[in-house]
Chain A
């Protein structure tokens, strides 16, 4: 296995009851690259991300993180998740904690970083991404875009090897989408390895190194964005892109 592959999936399979959500998914994510997953709602994008950080149990197959099979018997999921950052569609910030405490919770309680050090680092992150004045605020005092940016900073505060973004702009006002996507682009430029589920095709085209199209539990198409998004090889993807174009999303 190449050392520059951060994540690889081998024949990942997952069903809920009789419904097969993911069927034999194979995917390689090289270091410092962005993989964008597209597909209609319910196509399995979220489930795939949740299988990667072990929030869902696989029915079959393997997930390899930095050469280690994290789906092997005896692997502690808590230890795996320490190395993966996850951002959710609905932010899921902790409402009883300030912005600063949200960001420092994992560094302090999981990675045992001393409080002072964790807070300094969090403050530095907030300052860099234009949230300097918000450290002592509670999440419900922030706009949606600010909340999602805080959620992203919370996920990267522990210095993860891999960042998973699950439709992070779907719950946002169109005006607020840009500020979140700018932050993601910036993380990409710093070399963060990411797997991103999104409906923002313009963004996908801009940041993706590879784009995967999920349909009916299958990774129906996978390739560089210019090929997948402009010259799809399957009718389904052509239809999907066509409907997005009709809706003004492409």
Chain B
């Protein structure tokens, strides 16, 4: 048995007093937090329910009957949102990676490609998504091209892909540029080509570094997939609108809103978890 053996180590009186004080302080702050939460939410509830329009609001926004009627229709619409989101996300990954890579090239020969990629990101990050959806969804069919798709979902999805690719490309480019030049140098010193260096050394590190930002964009895409309803595609929002138009009751909107939130919450939690995990990995470094 040694003095440094943790199993036989006796805590000093001073340390015990410190621990007791810390425990008292934490108990007190929990009580304060609980009390203030009750007060704030109580006040808010009172404010809303005592408002003059509350009975009418309850009838038109919080009707259980209409919620039940709308739920299956809105849920079916939400499946369209999900489908659009997943397909768009896959296309966005491919396109944005290509654009990010094009923007990080330095060769003089590739100047036109670099310029096009820059123009693309500038334009599509500047244009409001709703505008792109409307221009594509209403404008392209108006051209009456021979083999152009007729589905509004197609144009809505295309607008999402175009806009989000510009954003995601910039996130990826930031990731690529954040990788220290010495990593590139080490890879080149091993005889890897520029392509090999990008593929095996730079891009894997860049993607890891920007994963939280990418998932944030994915959550946002999921939400914005609801905008295709302006073209008439029957997604969750449009389904809610249809029920509302027949009944003059707005509860279906609330149902759609809750379903969207229910969909994004797991994703945001996953994003947080990933961010926390990568932070943990970085901090558990060795002696250096």
Contact between A105 and B200, CB atoms less than 8 A apart: yes
Whether a CB of chain B sits under 8 angstroms from the CB of A132 is: no
* Least distance between A57 CB and chain B CB atoms (Å): 13
Contact between B190 and A96, CB atoms less than 8 A apart: no
Contact between B288 and A158, CB atoms less than 8 A apart: no
Contact between B196 and A140, CB atoms less than 8 A apart: no
Whether a CB of chain A sits under 8 angstroms from the CB of B192 is: yes
Contact with A along B176-187 (1 / 0, CB 8 A): 000000110111
Whether a CB of chain B sits under 8 angstroms from the CB of A143 is: yes
Contact between A109 and B189, CB atoms less than 8 A apart: no
Whether a CB of chain B sits under 8 angstroms from the CB of A40 is: no
Which of B189, B191, B286 is within 8 Å of A79, CB to CB?
B191
Distance of A90 Cα from B189 Cα, bound (Å): 14
Contact between B285 and A140, CB atoms less than 8 A apart: yes
Report which A residues bind B (CB closer than 8 A).
53, 55, 77-79, 81-82, 84, 86, 88, 90, 92-96, 105-106, 109-111, 140-144, 146-147, 154-155, 158, 173
Contacts of A81 in B (CB 8 A): 188-191
Distance of A206 Cα from B145 Cα, bound (Å): 80
Contact between B185 and A92, CB atoms less than 8 A apart: yes
Contacts of A106 in B (CB 8 A): 190-192
Whether a CB of chain A sits under 8 angstroms from the CB of B216 is: no
Distance of A140 Cα from B204 Cα, bound (Å): 17
Beyond A90-B182, A96-B205, whether A144 also contacts B288 by CB under 8 A is yes
Beyond A143-B287, A144-B287, whether A88 also contacts B182 by CB under 8 A is yes
Q: Which applies to chain B's interface (DSSP): helix, strand, loop or mixed?
A: helix
Contact between B196 and A143, CB atoms less than 8 A apart: no
Interface size on B, residues (CB 8 A): 23
Interface residues of B in 103-118 (CB under 8 A from A): none
Which of B183, B188, B284 is within 8 Å of A94, CB to CB?
B183
* Least distance between A144 CB and chain B CB atoms (Å): 5
Chain B: which residue is nearest A92 at the CB level?
B186
Distance of A154 Cα from B287 Cα, bound (Å): 20
Contact between A109 and B196, CB atoms less than 8 A apart: yes
* Least distance between A82 CB and chain B CB atoms (Å): 4
Contacts of A88 in B (CB 8 A): 182, 185-186, 189
Contact between A53 and B189, CB atoms less than 8 A apart: yes
Known: A81-B190, A88-B189. 18 other contacts (CB 8 A): A78-B191, A79-B191, A81-B191, A84-B189, A88-B185, A92-B186, A94-B183, A94-B187, A94-B201, A94-B205, A105-B190, A106-B191, A106-B192, A110-B191, A143-B287, A144-B287, A144-B288, A147-B288
Distance of A39 Cα from B287 Cα, bound (Å): 29
In this complex, which of B187, B201, B204, B287 has the most chain A Cβ atoms within 10 angstroms of its Cβ? B287
Whether a CB of chain A sits under 8 angstroms from the CB of B69 is: no
Contacts of B282 in A (CB 8 A): 140
Whether a CB of chain A sits under 8 angstroms from the CB of B58 is: no
Contacts of B200 in A (CB 8 A): 105, 109
Contacts of B204 in A (CB 8 A): 96
Distance of A158 Cα from B191 Cα, bound (Å): 10
Contact between A92 and B183, CB atoms less than 8 A apart: yes
Contact between B205 and A95, CB atoms less than 8 A apart: yes
Chain B: which residue is nearest A145 at the CB level?
B287
Contact between B182 and A158, CB atoms less than 8 A apart: no
Contact between A94 and B186, CB atoms less than 8 A apart: yes
Contact between A110 and B192, CB atoms less than 8 A apart: yes
Whether a CB of chain A sits under 8 angstroms from the CB of B83 is: no
Distance of A86 Cα from B188 Cα, bound (Å): 10
Contacts of A84 in B (CB 8 A): 189
Contact between A110 and B196, CB atoms less than 8 A apart: yes
Distance of A144 Cα from B196 Cα, bound (Å): 27
Contacts of B208 in A (CB 8 A): 96
Contacts of B182 in A (CB 8 A): 88, 90, 92
* Least distance between A201 CB and chain B CB atoms (Å): 25
Distance of A82 Cα from B187 Cα, bound (Å): 11
Distance of A20 Cα from B16 Cα, bound (Å): 67
Whether a CB of chain A sits under 8 angstroms from the CB of B45 is: no
Contact with A along B264-285 (1 / 0, CB 8 A): 0000000000000000001011
Distance of A54 Cα from B190 Cα, bound (Å): 12
Distance of A41 Cα from B208 Cα, bound (Å): 35
Beyond A78-B191, A88-B186, A158-B190, whether A141 also contacts B286 by CB under 8 A is yes
Contacts of A110 in B (CB 8 A): 190-192, 196
Contacts of A147 in B (CB 8 A): 286, 288
CB-defined A-B contacts under 8 Å, sample of 12:
A53-B189, A55-B185, A81-B188, A82-B191, A88-B185, A92-B185, A105-B192, A111-B191, A140-B286, A141-B286, A147-B288, A173-B287
Which of B190, B192, B284, B286 is within 8 Å of A142, CB to CB?
B286
* Least distance between A52 CB and chain B CB atoms (Å): 11
Distance of A53 Cα from B201 Cα, bound (Å): 19
Which of B185, B187, B284 is within 8 Å of A140, CB to CB?
B284
Contact between B288 and A143, CB atoms less than 8 A apart: yes
Distance of A140 Cα from B193 Cα, bound (Å): 26
